[in-house]
Amino acid sequence: MSQLSADRPAPALIFETGAPGRATHYVERSRPHGEFLPPELLRSELPLPDNSELDVVRHFTQLSHRTFGIDLGFYPLGSCTMKYNPRVNDAMANLPGFRDLHPYTPDDLAQGSLAVMYELERSLSSIFGMAAFSLNPSAGAHAELAALLVAKKYFKDRGESKRTKVIVPDTAHGTNPASAAMCGFKVISLPSDARGRVSVEEIEKVLGDDTAVCMMTNPNTLGLFEDHIAEIAAAVHRVGGLMYYDGANANAIMGNVRPGDMGFDLMHLNTHKTFTIPHGGGGAGHGPLGVAAHLVEYLPTPVVRAIPDGKSDLRRAPSDGMRFELDFDRPKSIGPMRSFWSNFAHAVRALSYLYANGAEGLKSVSQLAVLNANYLRVGVSEFLTTPYPEICRHEFVASAQELKKATGVRALDIAKALLDRGFMAPTVYFPLIVPECLMMEPTETESKETLDLFIEALREIVETAKRDPASVMAAPVNTVVGRIDETRAARQPDLRWRQSG
Amino acid sequence: MGAYTPHTPQEISQMLERIGVGSLEELLAVSPEIAPKAPLDVVPALPEYQIERRMQALASRNRAADYASFLGAGAYRHYAPPAIAALAMRGEFLTAYTPYQAEVSQGYLQAIYEWQSYICLLTGMEIANASVYDGATALAEGSIMAINATGRTRLLVSRAVDPRYRAVLHTYCGGLDIEIDEMAVGADGRTDGDSVLAAIEAKNYAAVVVQSPNFFGVVDEIDARLRSAIETSGTVPIAVVSEAISLGALRSPAQWGAQIVVGEAQSFGVALAYGGPYVGFIASTAEHMRRIPGRLVGRSLDNRGREAFTLTLQAREQHIRREKASSNICTNQAHCALIATIYLALMGASGLRDVAGLNLERSRELATAVSSVPGASLRFEAPFFNEIVVRVGNAAEVLAALQARGVLGGVDLGRFYPEYADSILMTATELTTTGDIAKLTAALREVVHVAALR
């Protein structure tokens, strides 16, 4: 809270600082560009500011002081799995042998990186019960798109191009319907039942020979386990459709239940959630795409192929006795999803996290994530409505609907009041089916003390709302700026600095 | 126990009791039919020092560091001042999520606003987004913008555009009914637009896509005749920039007519890392503002009239519009965009100009040296930035022989262009030394000579 409430003014935009010629010289002075290229191809002006290294260091350090991350405090953002990002993972990704390797390095000089990709791929396949994973997609939404392209090609090859519909529950992440639309599918939204789940009866109403894919996340975004998942999968398979698992909530299931065993044919994993890769303010992510055996040949290119040339034991020293190569020759593949092979540095981070935990550790991670979520749910239910009062998985939803009726204080106000108290806000107004929704995911890396402090802060906000609603509606007041005029931002877009000011 | 979980056994018992459940197993019970049948096949947990040993052993199996390298082709080795990592790796930046709560994210939002501004200043465009995955996906998303703007479903793409970008464009178009036609490459290495003028004028195309410098390193602006056909037909001209350092020397794509500029900013301080994460950008004229995909940061005022930054125009995005969104993108490459922003802030205009100039200089030194080797010659004569295409005989064989002599000579063009199987794409940057070039030239003299004897 202290860093973010400092009364110092915002650093000026970088463009309003510096002086021409002040920049630190990191390289030699070059000869004039006109010696190398005809003048009509050259730039006449380059209006970027020149700053000393110290001024740049201060600028970005001050910006960091105006930014909240997990390292500063509790970050219970539902569906985002904001757990601790271990520093060893970054150190491993920055080993020069990994960091400086060019993507077009010949395979025989890149065996270490290929081994990392292979080992991660095999491990993920085992953890999630898939035949194979592609490490090509860059993020969850990117993997969803890749998966739907796989499904499209698979159906086309089977002469089933009439399958044009993708079924998405109304609790689904917004990327699901958006990915389906980008792939030319028609989206069928499926209402949840009174228990907050997809019911077999409801889904059977929309299934048919035009069903392509049913996209689900389990546990769903209410934090509830879809306990009829095996029957749902069977029903979708009966009409010839495919089941897609949105792995955004995979932190709840490791070592407990596998998407492959639940009947899913395709899935993605957000390793930047479940496997502790830092979110970095919105990316870069990493979205491995897993598939069942009948879809492996459709995976994006390239895939890492292992050629055993000796004895190997994956569990002890997986890369010993094996040679690896990038395989681009995959005739049925949907093709590449991105410029190069993978967000490789993130594959290193994910594998490092896997090494730290092993199978037992991952199981414990999910158990304690669920323990923390339920502990928080029980605490919060003392003063806020929890519309689904039952055991949740890694996250749960509360509603400020009744508080709003009584006091006028909304979920958004509660979120802003939490910022004043040094906590990140939960996800608000999602999923869409819960009015005044607050969606909370504590993750397993938070201690009981932190959860207790958060519960008390939330309790105090709700009590204040009943006594003095205006003060909650005025929040935040301890942050460097107050609530921002969003309408002005959208109606008079100012999306860049201009020279005139 | 998990490696980073703080719970003591007593706390676990207290918490279970509070919840009213007997055990962790009971808390996560699933029906037997879907329960896992076998233990997970993963490595047993390692203490941290052994994680380091194992990773170091893996990293040491990458053995490219001692080679003189002329690899580029869309991923470039440039100098990155250590101040970048010192700043970017600060936990506040590294462990933040997408800045939904603007009041506690002003620093990151300002950095992204600065990134958007830098991209606009360099490309000459009016707006830029907060980043996309990489250069290839930037092209795919930029093309979808043009398709939505024109209501047309055909694209015309130069064969001199990075073949992997084109492959990704094909992948994306596999989900939609989009057709892609190609423009040929002329003898000088530039896009040959003449043969497609009539088709453009017939209003067949949503967009015309050209890359500059193109995949062969050649400066490849849309020429006057093509530009006039594009203008009269309402086609959207898209420029691709995969070597962002070139923007420090070459005139902006806006100056030669681009309406959408897409590209890759890995060159601005982002590690090579065997292909990622990198950072794509999309910039455009103002008319495409509501079609641009992904996050946009805007400047507004707070409730006390103070200047403040926030995510804006979110009605385009998937979490609001779901299947009607302009793209499905959610996670982007914010941290790499931050790295690029810090790079540009450190370099300034003078540093970027110098780096660009040194790339021009060293690549000409490379061109002169290799073309002095008997049997090796430059394939294209048009002006280039920092890459050259060298005809050597059998490119694959020559590259293998160079590798045996401690040189990574470049990328075999036959991999993407059967007609150029005799050519290597070679890159020189400010980090390429005269010694590297001498080593390459000496090896090439042996190798090309040997190849010619066969």
Question: Could you read off the pLDDT of B255-309 as tens digits, one per residue?
Answer: 999 999 999 999 999 999 999 999 999 999 999 999 999 999 999 999 999 999 9
pTM above 0.95, yes or no: yes
Q: Which CATH number covers residue B446?
A: 3.90.1150.10
Amino acid identity of residue A499, one-letter, is: Q
Q: How confident is the model at residue B329 (pLDDT cuts 50, 70, 90)?
A: confident
Burial annotation A411-434 (CB, 10 A radius, 16+ → b, else e): bbbbbbbbbbbbbbbbbbbbbebb
* B412, B266: one domain: no
* B406, B437: one domain: yes
Q: Is B84 left (phi over 0), alpha (psi -120 to 50) or beta?
A: alpha
Instruction: Inspect the interface and report whether the beta carbons of A368 and B2 lie closer than 8 Å.
Output: yes
pLDDT of residue B331: 86
Nearest chain B residue to A341 by CA distance is B275
Q: At what angle do helices B334-371 and B434-453 cross, to 10 degrees?
A: 60
Instruction: Inspect the interface and report whether the beta carbons of B5 and A444 lie closer than 8 Å.
Output: yes
Structure-token match 């959208």, residue found: A490
Q: Which residues in chain B are closer than 8 Å to A229, comparing Cβ atoms? A: 34
pLDDT in tens, A112-130: 999 999 999 999 999 999 9
Instruction: Inspect the interface and report whether the beta carbons of B101 and A152 lie closer than 8 Å.
Output: no
CA A102, A107, A109, A114 dihedral sign is: positive
Asked whether the predicted pLDDT for residue A61 surpasses 80, the reply is: yes
Residues B399-410, mean pLDDT to the nearest whole number: 98
CB A156 within 8 A of CB A283: no
Report helix, strand or coil for B239: strand
B contact test, residue of A484, A485, A494, A499 with most B CBs within 10 A? A484
* B235, B152: one domain: yes
CB atoms within 10 A of CB B238: 30
pLDDT in tens, A406-439: 999 999 999 999 999 999 999 999 999 999 999 9
pLDDT in tens, A379-405: 999 999 999 999 999 999 999 999 999
Asked if the structure places residue B49 within a domain, the reply is: no
* B418, B430: one domain: yes
B contact test, residue of A17, A243, A286, A496 with most B CBs within 10 A? A496
Q: Closest CB to B30: pick one of A95, A116, A257.
A: A257
B402 lies in which domain range? 68-79+350-453
pLDDT in tens, B102-140: 999 999 999 999 999 999 999 999 999 999 999 999 999
Tokens of B23: 């055990």
Of B342, B375, B402, the one marking the end of a domain is B342
Of B342, B359, B388, the one marking the end of a domain is B342
Structural domains in chain A, sorted by start: 2-65 (no CATH), 360-487 (3.90.1150.10)
pLDDT of residue B326: 82
C-alpha span between A144 and A246 (Å, rounded): 8
Please give the interface size between A and B, counted as residue pairs whose CB atoms are below 8 Å apart.
715
Asked if the structure places residue B36 within a domain, the reply is: no
Asked whether the predicted pLDDT for residue B451 surpasses 50, the reply is: yes
B contact test, residue of A13, A24, A30 with most B CBs within 10 A? A30
Q: Which CATH number covers residue B187?
A: 3.40.640.10
Asked if the structure places residue B145 within a domain, the reply is: yes
* B92, B72: one domain: no
* B165, B308: one domain: yes
Instruction: Inspect the interface and report whether the beta carbons of A282 and B46 lie closer than 8 Å.
Output: no
Asked whether the predicted pLDDT for residue B177 surpasses 60, the reply is: yes
A contact test, residue of B16, B33, B34 with most A CBs within 10 A? B34
Asked if the structure places residue B299 within a domain, the reply is: yes
Asked if the structure places residue B128 within a domain, the reply is: yes
Structure-token match 């110098």, residue found: B354
Q: Which residues in chain A are closer than 8 Å to B106, comparing Cβ atoms? A: 10, 63, 66-67, 480-481
C-alpha span between A113 and B288 (Å, rounded): 40
C-alpha span between A399 and A156 (Å, rounded): 44
Tokens of A430: 């999602």
- Nearest CA to B277 out of B327, B239, B329, B332 is that of B332
Q: Which residues in chain A are closer than 8 Å to B414, comparing Cβ atoms? A: none
Q: Closest CB to A26: pick one of B75, B79, B102.
A: B79
Q: How confident is the model at residue B315 (pLDDT cuts 50, 70, 90)?
A: confident
CA A456, A462, A466, A470 dihedral sign is: positive
Least confident of A7-11, A487-491, B214-218: A7-11
pLDDT of residue A307: 86
Q: How confident is the model at residue A98 (pLDDT cuts 50, 70, 90)?
A: very high
* B361, B314: one domain: no
Asked whether the predicted pLDDT for residue B252 surpasses 50, the reply is: yes
The number of domains in chain B is 2
Q: Which residues in chain A are closer than 8 Å to B174, comparing Cβ atoms? A: 149, 152-153, 334-335
pLDDT in tens, B62-117: 999 999 999 999 999 999 999 999 999 999 999 999 999 999 999 999 999 999 99
CA angle (A346 as vertex; A341, A347 as ends), nearest 5:
65
Asked whether the predicted pLDDT for residue A195 surpasses 90, the reply is: yes
Q: What are phi and psi of B408, to 5 degrees?
A: -95, 100
Q: Which residues in chain B are closer than 8 Å to A284, comparing Cβ atoms? A: 133, 276-277, 279, 331-336
pLDDT of residue A1: 42
B contact test, residue of A154, A355, A372, A439 with most B CBs within 10 A? A355
Q: What is the DSSP letter of B185?
A: B
* B291, B172: one domain: yes
pLDDT in tens, A333-346: 999 999 999 999 99
Structure-token match 């819960």, residue found: A434
Asked whether the predicted pLDDT for residue A160 surpasses 60, the reply is: yes
Asked if the structure places residue B333 within a domain, the reply is: yes
Structure-token match 């100009």, residue found: B353
Amino acid identity of residue A247, one-letter, is: G
Q: How confident is the model at residue B319 (pLDDT cuts 50, 70, 90)?
A: confident
CA dist A5 → A65, A75, A294, A455 (Å): 9, 18, 55, 22
* B400, B261: one domain: no
With 0-12 / 13-18 / 19 or more C-beta atoms within 10 angstroms meaning exposed / middle / buried, residue A389 is exposed
Asked whether the predicted pLDDT for residue A459 surpasses 70, the reply is: yes
Nearest chain B residue to A300 by CA distance is B171
pLDDT of residue A309: 66
C-alpha span between A137 and A131 (Å, rounded): 17
- Nearest CA to A263 out of A205, A211, A218 is that of A218
In B233-291, DSSP assigns E strands to: 236-241, 260-264, 280-284
Measure the CA dihedral A147/A150/A154/A157, to 10°: 160
* B281, B231: one domain: yes
CA angle (B149 as vertex; B143, B154 as ends), nearest 5:
50
* B74, B141: one domain: no
pLDDT in tens, A309-330: 655 555 455 566 789 999 999 9
pLDDT in tens, A251-293: 999 999 999 999 999 999 999 999 999 999 999 999 999 999 9
CA dist B230 → B190, B203, B204, B209 (Å): 18, 9, 11, 11
Q: How confident is the model at residue A501 (pLDDT cuts 50, 70, 90)?
A: very low
Q: Provide the shortest C-alpha distance from residue A403 to chain B (in Å).
A: 22
CB B309 within 8 A of CB A66: no
Instruction: Inspect the interface and report whether the beta carbons of B19 and A378 lie closer than 8 Å.
Output: yes
Asked whether the predicted pLDDT for residue A231 surpasses 80, the reply is: yes
Instruction: Inspect the interface and report whether the beta carbons of B301 and A497 lie closer than 8 Å.
Output: no
pLDDT of residue A311: 57
Amino acid identity of residue A131, one-letter, is: A
Asked whether the predicted pLDDT for residue B21 surpasses 80, the reply is: yes
Q: Provide the shortest C-alpha distance from residue B275 to chain A (in Å).
A: 5
pLDDT of residue B324: 83
Of B323, B342, B361, the one marking the end of a domain is B342
Q: Provide the shortest C-alpha distance from residue B54 to chain A (in Å).
A: 9
Asked whether the predicted pLDDT for residue B449 surpasses 90, the reply is: no
Asked if the structure places residue B43 within a domain, the reply is: no
Instruction: Inspect the interface and report whether the beta carbons of A490 and B128 lie closer than 8 Å.
Output: no
pLDDT of residue A2: 47
pLDDT of residue A5: 54
Q: Closest CB to A30: pick one of B43, B98, B361.
A: B361
C-alpha span between B27 and B21 (Å, rounded): 7
* B245, B330: one domain: yes
Q: Closest CB to B273: pick one of A101, A257, A495.
A: A101
Q: What is the ipTM of this complex?
A: 0.97
Q: Closest CB to A43: pick one of B131, B250, B302.
A: B250
Instruction: Inspect the interface and report whether the beta carbons of B348 and A18 lie closer than 8 Å.
Output: yes
